Amino acid sequence: MKKHCGTLLLCLLALSLVLTGCSGSGVKTGTKAGMYTPGTYTAQAAGFGGKVSVTMTFDANAITDVKIEGADETPAVGGKAIEEFPGMLMEAQSADIDGISGASYTSKAVLAAAANCVAQAKGEDTDQKTPVADGTYSGQAPGFSWTGMIKADVTFKDNAITDINIVEEQETYTGEIFYTVLDNYIPRILEAQSLAVDGISGATLSSNGVRGCVEQAIEAAGGRSSEWYGEVAKSTKTVKKEGYDVIIVGMGGSGITSFLSAAQAGAKVFGIETTAKLGGQSATTSGPMAANSQVKMDEEFGGKEYIDADALYKAWNDYCGADAKPEMIRMAIDESGETLDWMIKDWGFQFSPMSSFILSPYPDWKIWCYYGGETKNRFGTNKTYMFENAVQKAQDQNPAAEYMLELTAQELLMDGDKVAGVKAVYHDGTIYEIYGKTVILATGGFIGNADMMNEYLDGPANTVAMTVDDGDGIKLGLSAGGALMNPDIPPMVHINQVANLIKNNDLDADGKQVLTSLGIATDALAVDGTGKLWNTREEICLAPQYRYYNIYTAAQIEAIKTKGLAKVNKSMFMDQGGTVEAGKPIANIDEILKVGAGYKNVLTAESAEDLAKAIGCDAATLKDSLNGAQGPYYAVICSGYAYATCGGLNVDDAMNVLRADGSPIGNLYAVGQDSMGVLFSSDVPYTPYGGQAQSWALTSGRLAGANAAKYAMGK
C-alpha cells in the first residue's frame, strides 16, 4: 500500500489528543504543602476540528476550577461535550475519567490536555517522552470514509518515528483529497516528530485518522501518545507579491474557471487556495446543467436545441418567485451552454451525454450532464485531474498565471474604499501580502461556518462537503462594503443518513445498514424537532435543524426482531454496506439500537413525556403526533447531509459585488456559492432540475475572470 500515507480521517473513535504548546501560567507558591503547586495551568490538545484548550486552577490539594475552549469542535457533538467536561473533571478531581460517547476526538483532546495540566501542577516534566520500543506497530482509526477504517503500520527507531505506512484504507474511494494527506501530512509528522503538526485543510478527517493510527502505535510500542505533541514552530516572515491584474481567492470550480478565463485574456493572475489540491467541492460533484451547448447539440441532437430555454427560465423564475433576480436566472441559463463548450474545446474537459436529473420534476428535460473520464470513485469520475490539466494548460499559455496551495486569505487589503489586494497566511505561518487591481471571491459558501449557519440558517448541518467552505469569501466581501442576497436559502441536501455515522467496528456493516434503514425509512411515524408530524417525502432541508425522528414502538421493534424489516433502505452515496434482506429476522436489533443510542442516533423513552424531553419538544404536541401509539419508544434520527449553502453576496451581471444601495464595488467580484443567492429563493429548496449550482460555479467564474481581466487591463 501507500507509504507515508496519512489519510485517515476523523476517527470518531480514534485517539486525537494532539498536545501543542502546553504551558503553565499559574502563580506558584514555591512550597508544596499538598499534592499540587497552587496556580493556574493551561494545555492544548488537538480535537476533532482544531485545538482544544483546557485551563485548570489548583490549590494545594484540589482542582478548584476548569475552563475549556474549543471553537472548532462540532457544536452538536464536541461542543456539547466541552460543556459537560468541566463538571465531570471537578467531580472526579482527576483527568482519569471516561470520555463522552460519540465525541471521541474531543474527549481525547480534553482529557489529554487536562492530564497535562495536572502534571504541571504536580511539578512533573511534561516535555519528557516515555521511550518507545524499536519496531513496527499498528493502529487503526476512522477517517472520512464511512465504509472502512484506516490501518497503518508505524515504525520506530531510537525513540523516533521513521515510517508511517498505510496498509488499508477506503479514503481514495471517496475522492482525491486523500492524497493531500499522504503527500503532505505524513512527511510533516516525520520531519517534526510531533503530532502537533496541523492537519491538512480540507482533509481534516483524514488527518485526524492518521493521527489516531500513530497514537495507537505509540501506545502499542510502550509510549504515551500525549507526550508526542511538542510545539511546531511557525514562520514569522512576511512576503509581498505585487503587480497582479487578477487575484482569485479560492481555486475550486468557480475559482478555476475564473483563473482560466483571466489567464486566457492575458492577465497576470494569482490564485489562492486554502486546501492542498485544486478543484474544491467541484471535484466531488456529479456535473453541471448546460442549456443548448453547441457541442452537445451537434453530437447528440442533430444540431437542434435540446431544451426550450424560455420554458426552463419560466419554470425556474416561477419556482423562486420574487426572491431571485430574473435577469441573473436568464444569464445563468443562456451562458451555461457556452461555458460547457468552452470547457470542452479550450480546456479538454469531458462530459457524459445529456440526461435528465433523477430528482427533476421534468423528466424529459435533458439539461444535466456529469463529468466524463474513466477513473472513478464513489462520487463519479476523477474531476481533479481535469481541473489540474486545465490550470497547467493555462499556465503554459500564460506564464504570468500562478497560484499557491495551502494559502488562506485572511483579509482584503484596502486603499481607501478600493480593494487593493489580499492578505493571506501559508500553512507554515508565513504571511503573504498580495497586491492587484481586482479580486474575485470564490470560496464556496459557508456550510462549514457554525456561526454563520446559526445566524442565517437553522444551525450547523451535517455535510458531505468539505467544511473548509467556511464563509471566508463572503466575510471578505462584507468587509469591503458588499451586501448579502438571500443568505437564508436552505442548504443543498440530496442525501439522508443517521445523524452520527458510526465509522468504527462497534457495529458491523449489517448492523449499520439496519440502523440506516430505520432512520431513513419513509413509511415510519416521523416527527420534526417541534414534535409535529413530518412528511418524509418533504425536502429534509426544510425540517428544523435538517433532521427528523422516525419513531418506533417496542412492539414494532419486537416484530423486526422476529420477522425482519419490511424494506431495506439504503442511503444514496453514503451507504455503509451490509447484506441485510427484507423479511429476515434481526435477532440483534436490541444491541443495534443500544449502540445507536451511544452515538446519539437513537433516543429511547418509556413515555411520550420522556421522549419529548429527549427531542426537546412540547409533550402535548408529540402526544398528538403519536396518536395513541404506546411506548416504550425508539426514535431514530434521520439527518440531511448538505453539499453547500446557496445564499451569498449580491452581484450584478458583471459579477461585481454590490453594496446595499445597489452600486457596484468596481474591482471586487464574487462567483459560485459566494454569490448564488441571486438565483434562488429563501422560501423553497434549491432548484430540482439538476446541476444548477455546478453550472453557476463554472459560468460565473468564466464571466468574472474575463470581466476582471478587462477591467484590470483597461480593455
C-alpha separations of 503 from 140, 164, 452 in Å: 11, 22, 28
C-alpha separations of 310 from 316, 329, 365, 684 in Å: 10, 11, 13, 21
Q: Residue 230 gets which letter from DSSP?
A: P
C-alpha separations of 483 from 254, 278, 477, 684 in Å: 20, 28, 8, 22
Spelled out in words, what is the top-level CATH class assigned to the domain 135-227?
alpha beta
Query: Residue 380 and residue 175: Cα distance in Å, rounded?
Result: 9
Instruction: Label residue 363 exposed, middle or buried (CB < 10 Å: 0-12, 13-18, 19+).
Output: exposed
Triad 557, 584, 553: Cα angle to 5°: 10
- 493-643 CATH: 3.90.700
pLDDT, position 571: 93
pLDDT digits (tens, 9 = 90+) for 102-136: 787 888 889 989 988 999 999 988 778 999 999 99
Fold (CATH) for 23-28+37-121? Sufe protein. Chain: A (3.90.1010)
pLDDT, position 378: 57
pLDDT, position 109: 87
Partners of residue 668 on adjacent β-strands: 439
pTM: 0.91
Residue with cell 482560466: 260
pLDDT, position 359: 81
Low-confidence ranges of the chain (pLDDT < 50): 1-32
C-alpha separations of 125 from 45, 89, 116, 149, 518 in Å: 17, 22, 10, 35, 51
- Going from N- to C-terminal start, the domains of the chain cover 23-28+37-121, 135-227, 239-491+645-713, 493-643
Q: In 10 A of CB 132, how many CB atoms?
A: 25
pLDDT, position 27: 36
Query: Residue 162 and residue 170: Cα distance in Å, rounded?
Result: 24
pLDDT, position 537: 83
Query: Residue 144 and residue 170: Cα distance in Å, rounded?
Result: 9
Strand, helix or coil at 637?
strand
As a whole number of angstroms, the longest Cα–Cα distance in the chain is 92
Task: Decide whether 239-491+645-713 matches 493-643 in CATH topology.
Answer: no
Q: Which phi-psi region, left, alpha or beta, contains residue 377 (left: φ > 0; alpha: ψ -120 to 50)?
A: beta
Query: Residue 592 and residue 580: Cα distance in Å, rounded?
Result: 13
pLDDT digits (tens, 9 = 90+) for 36-77: 999 999 998 888 878 899 999 999 999 999 999 998 887 777
239-491+645-713 falls under which CATH superfamily? FAD/NAD(P)-binding domain (3.50.50.60)
C-alpha separations of 628 from 385, 538, 637 in Å: 57, 24, 21
How is residue 188 written as a grid cell? 510533516
Residues 6+ apart with CB under 8 A from 205: 8, 9, 10, 11, 142, 143, 144
Q: Which amino acid is at 320?
A: C
pLDDT, position 376: 62
* CA-based end-to-end distance of the chain: 53
The DSSP element (H or E) to which 515 belongs, if any, is: helix 509-520
